[in-house]
Amino acid sequence: MSQFLPEFLQGYIPNAIQLIYLVATGFFIVGIKRLGSPATARSGNQLAATGMLIGIVVTMFDREIVSFEFIIAGIIIGALLGAIAAKKVQMTAMPEMVAVFNGFGGGASALVAWGEFARVEPALIPADGLVTTGLSILIGSITFTGSFIAFGKLKGFISGGRIALPGQNIINLVLTIGALGLVGWFTVDPEFQAVFWTLFGLALLIGVLTVLPIGGADMPVVISLLNSYSGIAASMAGFVLDNNLLIISGALVGAAGLILTNIMCQAMNRTLPAVLFGAFGGGDETAAADTGDKSVQKTFADDVAIQCSYAKKVVIVPGYGLAVAQAQHALKEVANLLEQKGVEVKYGIHPVAGRMPGHMNVLLAEADVPYDQLYDMEQINPEFKSTDVVLIIGANDVVNPAAKTSPGSPIYGMPILNVDEAKRTIVFKRSMNPGYAGIENDLFYSDKNQMFFGDAKKSLQELAGAIKELD
């Protein structure tokens, strides 16, 4: 596009492009910063998108473009697909969509590296360019197939349990070392095409074999890690193209993903190696817990309505069951009715509630829950002792006292919401089936707990009706 500008301006283009890249980077940084709060997340997303638009437009001046028609067609098709997805995809399917985004991001980086390698004579590519090309192919391909395996586990057409071959960790380690060796071989002898295609195929296989053995309980961590991979792959592609904006934006995504992965691991009291190579949570939501001679107290809408209406403080703890039932609007109606009666209502959000980081925050925002009512685990835990009633909607492992009291439990040491310290807990649940960790919840059998069985949306609607009848 630069050839269409006056000749005296063309000499200023390279420096102007880098300056505008710096401005776009500023948009990315501020956008990511604002994503840290539900109150500013929307504007943060818009700022980051604006930065990306600036980057795309400016890049057209950065090098000779062979065909603007394909670029414009890609922008139009991508924008249409994005708009349709944003409108049609339900909030319950948001984790699956994020997994798909990660996969497409990694795949795009691998394709960019492949395209640049095919465009340039291999002998003319410097060694550092070959290294970054190989790494972009490796990381991008692993991200592509790994993300779609994660998508399948979240969607349910691939078992959420651990699907592993005997000696799976050793196999994965050997394949990864082999892939890194192929990157080195490719750098030394880029004209040997068989090495390139073997690396491509092996990387795709590693992505499959790495994610398949990971249990469903660890999917929030896996999604965060794959998000980081997609950023690193994009950064490698930036080195391949010698594009500073792509290098920086990829590095930002990679770093943010790693930080988030670390936060998720801490929230689950897990190490990253334990997630990738250990066993935790089969994701079998239909397995029955061994309840023995224990018994639970059942409750119904009328009783819950009385307890909540005459309480001073009610804390709501949402979980993935809320998302599955699409009950966020019914929950908001219950909260509004309680507030009209002078009850203080707050929401306690565990870092790994749902199937991806921030899932519950977004779900509640869709129902117009005020941001100042959302409290992180560290903020809400000190308040449970002064809470009259805790309504637990579809959450399980994140409120299980076994994490504090049972050293032999798989979740022992995992930070949880201390709902057991409240005067009364009421669990909204379809059945007594365990959560992703595959263990029974001691809270269900507590003398201070009651079980409200049924679909969360229907139960909340019944509760709303019962509260209205008390007027």
Q: Which residues are catalytic?
A: 397
**Greatest CA separation for the chain:** 87
> Which two three-digit tokens encode residue 378?
């560290």
Crossing angle of the two packed helices 127-155 and 219-241, in degrees rounded to 10 = 150
Find all residues with CB under 8 Å of 123, minimum gap 6, and list them.
190, 191
- Is 408 strand, coil or helix? coil
The rounded distance, in Å, linking the Cα atoms of 236 and 248 is 10
Scored b (16 or more CB within 10 A) or e, 192-221 reads: eeebbebbbebbbbbbebbbbbbbbbbbbb
- Give the residue carrying structure tokens 């239909």: 286
Locate the DSSP E strands across 279-437. Answer: 313-318, 344-349, 374-376, 389-393, 425-429
Neighbours of 419 (CB within 10 A): 29
Neighbours of 184 (CB within 10 A): 13
Neighbours of 374 (CB within 10 A): 22
Sheet of 425-429, strands arranged across: 374-376, 344-349, 313-318, 389-393, 425-429, 449-453
The rounded distance, in Å, linking the Cα atoms of 319 and 328 is 11
- Give the residue carrying structure tokens 């993300």: 147
Rounded to the nearest angstrom, the gap between the alpha carbon of residue 221 and the centroid of all alpha carbons in its chain is 7
Neighbours of 12 (CB within 10 A): 11
Phi, psi of 225 (to 5 degrees): -65, -40
